[in-house]
Amino acid sequence: MTSSISAEPVVSPVATEAPRRAHPLRSLLMQRVPLGLVTIWVVTVIVFAATQLLPGNAARAVLGKNATPERLAALERQMGLDQSALSQYWNWVTGLLQGDLGTSLVNQQPLSTLIVPQIVNSAALVVTAGVVGTALGVVLGLVAAVRRDRLADHAMSATSLAVLALPEFVVAIFVTVLLSTNVFHWFPAVSALSPGQRPWDDIAMLVLPTVVLVIVIAPYVFRMMRAATIDALESEYVEMARLKGLSKRQVLLRHALPNAVAPTVQAIGLNLLYLAGGIVVVETVFNYPGIGQALYQAVLSKDIPTIQLLVTLLAAFYVVVNIVTDLLALMATPRKRMPR
């Protein structure tokens, strides 16, 4: 008799394991950073093309209408305007990558000397307004959600809608009339800093622009925080926490608030992006020496290198804030931040 032994194939445990997915945070960075760099490059192309299409001649804007053709041609050669558009773009981009921010056509000074102080001024305004507006919107949103459908909730919701309908310059005029000119005389109506002066050297100069920006951005955070908190309070896990006997404060802070953070973070990021554009109007109204006013003056004087640099910096700020906001929103969502 012959006995046959049937051997089953041995399967390696390593082979049966499903391939592990990359960490969500790392995957997000690997996708968004290259896309962000491409976005900035596309912006540089669009900005350069748009400045090339501006009416008038940059050299003539510097020398004035009475410039002789000889002086005009000499300045064009000095500024590289006699080169092809492709060569001008290449020189500009490679200069940026090497740390050469360019030279202002109006002041004939390096932009690193002229723009950096204005960037600091705008950063102080954006950070102050962003922190105060975010804190105010989050607190009021929590209060409105807890007091849903009560008088306080209806009053805050109606007020936020009314403020959202107002442009920045209208809010600026109202704040100036109320706190500076007609009703109270607490703060200066113009926030013109002296050369070399910083906003923190005279806090009063920073108050009115900050108040305007806080009034403009706080309703967005308020409405998002209110909606996200109400949605969390109506969820099953919050109902289970209530059945376990937890207090209202514990339910709100330990269960509802953590799950309302992620969508609110997105609203906060959008507000920061809005501030980057909104400061142009506010700084112009209050004569505040930031990048908003610098961009406005550069457009008026056709200072092309300044326009190109400021718009590129704003685009880079948009890209960075978008990536950071998505990272924070992912980290604030427990079910999404862990690899599966």
Q: For 276-326, what is each residue's pLDDT tens digit? A: 777 778 888 888 888 888 888 888 777 788 888 888 888 888 888 888 888
The pTM of this model reads 0.73
Quote the percentage of the chain above a pLDDT of 70.
80
CB 172 within 8 A of CB 282: yes
User: What's the one-letter identity of residue 308?
Assistant: Q
The domain spans of the chain are: 117-303
Cα angle value 6/8/10 (rounded, 5°): 145
Calculate the alpha carbon distances from 319 to 24, 33, 93, 270, 307 in Å.
19, 9, 18, 11, 18
- At 36, the pLDDT band (50, 70, 90 cuts) reads confident
pLDDT at residue 82, as a whole number: 65
Q: Mean pLDDT over residues 182-198, rounded? A: 77
pLDDT at residue 20, as a whole number: 56
Helix (H, G, I), strand (E, B) or coil at 110: strand
Q: Mean pLDDT over residues 118-132, rounded? A: 86
pLDDT at residue 317, as a whole number: 86
Cα angle value 161/164/167 (rounded, 5°): 145
> Is it true that domain 117-303 has CATH number 3.40.50.720?
no
Window from 52-56, 282-286, 329-333 with minimum mean pLDDT: 52-56
